Amino acid sequence: MPVIDALFTATSAVCVTGLIVVDTGSYFTPFGQGIILGLIQVGGLGIMTFSVLFYALLGSSVRLRDRVIVQSSFTTEQTGDVLQLVKSIFVFTFVLEAIGVFLLFLAWPGSCPYRTRLWIAIFHSISAFCNAGFSLFKDSFVQYQFNWAVNLIVICLIIMGGVGFIVLTETTNWVKQKISNQGRSRLSLHTKIVITTTVCLIFGGAALFFVLESSDSLASAPLHGKILASFFQSVTARTAGFNTIDMYNLANPTLFILIILMFIGASPGSCGGGVKTVNAAILVIIAKNRFKGNEEGEVFKRTIPRETLSRSVTIIISAVVLISVVACLVMIAETGRYAHPETRGKFLEYLFETVSAFGTVGLSMGVTPTLTSVGKILIMVMMFLGRLGPLNLAFSLAKRVPTKKFHYGEEKIFIG
């Protein structure tokens, strides 16, 4: 395997993206597939969580900076015992993945040997929960397009891995309190926004996919098959990367909808990428309040801090600029040697590839294996930045600016 392809595969795995230059199931040996799966698990849980765990295993104290990073990544509250937080994350992850393995093992169709079926269940359960999109099948899940059991199990794993640890723990505790009637249960504002936004994106994306593709790529499918495929693609487009329909056969409006879903991505504190559901929701909240003449970001009878509003807008603007620059560079690297009329249809393909890399999604229109070395390097950089986050990278590289003791006078400008 060429070094550039090995590096690309490793980057795609540890960034839980799923873009591939070779077929994972047929090209790699079981050992190679195990290496990919290990990178997916590490990338999905996050390097910092493993760092904290290793500190504890070595008997060393966790540095304050590492505590702050882990706490800010997985919870909105400051907790003194960061090791207990990391343990909870690992327990949640492995329990849910184990349940996924068990269900997929029972539900998997065909008469393959038990050892093969178990490996298929393990690989796809971890890949789905970590929103990685790697599959052992050449066509992903296209051959299981109408299998309700497999589709629903994978959908549930993707959603649970994409909503974030905060939402999982709060929702679990909320359900327990409701069942046992112990005290007054309440969900935080973060959890309410994540759940509301996730539900809207899933059902809205599925409805649009159904309308746009019912008479096109899904024309020959029965009604229940159209509904299932629409929901699966709506869920998987937000950082998971599996597909039950050939992306190349989709209409341009459908691909544009998928680009928007990939750009938004998963939720904070999850295994996925993108600008995150909360930031997309905050943008809508800001616009809604501005139209009402309200300068505050009010939702669910709560006010979001101005610093959070400003940070969300900055993240979205940074992501748009980053995607625009990298997409342009990819097009220059890949189409510079061709005449312009021969490359007209490539614009959407390379834009789709770039957004997929940024959102750590893994969906592709089939151009990944054809990329040049420069193109692969650009996509690798995009996967890394997408997993890390453009604003986090900027903050880590920026110098600390002293607080201003004064500010210049204000002057109004026309903004249309």
Inter-residue contact 248 to 364 (CB < 8 Å): no
- Give dist(CA 190, CA 102) in Å, integer: 31
DSSP string, 346-376: HHHHHHHHHHHHHTT----SS-GGG--HHHH
CB atoms within 10 A of CB 10: 15
Residues in the chain: 416
Residue 135, classed as helix, strand or coil, is: coil
- Give dist(CA 17, CA 34) in Å, integer: 16
Inter-residue contact 264 to 275 (CB < 8 Å): yes
Residue with tokens 């020959």: 220
- Phi, then psi, of 298 in degrees rounded to 5: -105, 135
Instruction: Report the candidate in 374, 138, 173, 387 with the shortest Cα–Cα distance to residue 271.
Output: 387
- Give dist(CA 280, CA 193) in Å, integer: 10
- Among left, alpha and beta (phi > 0; psi -120 to 50; other), residue 131 is left
Per-residue pLDDT of the chain (416 residues; tens, 9 = 90+): 899 999 999 999 999 998 999 999 889 999 999 999 999 998 888 766 666 666 666 665 556 655 666 555 555 555 556 667 777 788 888 999 999 999 999 998 877 888 999 999 999 999 999 989 899 998 889 889 889 999 999 999 999 988 888 888 888 888 888 787 776 667 888 889 999 999 999 999 999 999 999 888 888 889 999 999 999 999 999 888 899 998 888 989 999 999 999 999 888 878 788 889 999 999 999 988 888 888 788 888 888 888 888 888 888 998 999 999 999 999 988 887 666 666 777 888 999 999 999 999 989 988 899 899 999 999 999 999 888 876 566 555 555 556 667 778 888 787 66
The pair of structure tokens assigned to 181 is 């009637």
Inter-residue contact 39 to 14 (CB < 8 Å): yes
- Give dist(CA 44, CA 125) in Å, integer: 12
Residue 303, classed as helix, strand or coil, is: strand
What is the pTM (predicted TM-score) of this model?
Answer: 0.87
Domain map of the chain by residue range? 3-175+187-397
SS3 content of the chain, % helix, strand, coil (to 5): 65, 0, 30
Inter-residue contact 390 to 319 (CB < 8 Å): yes
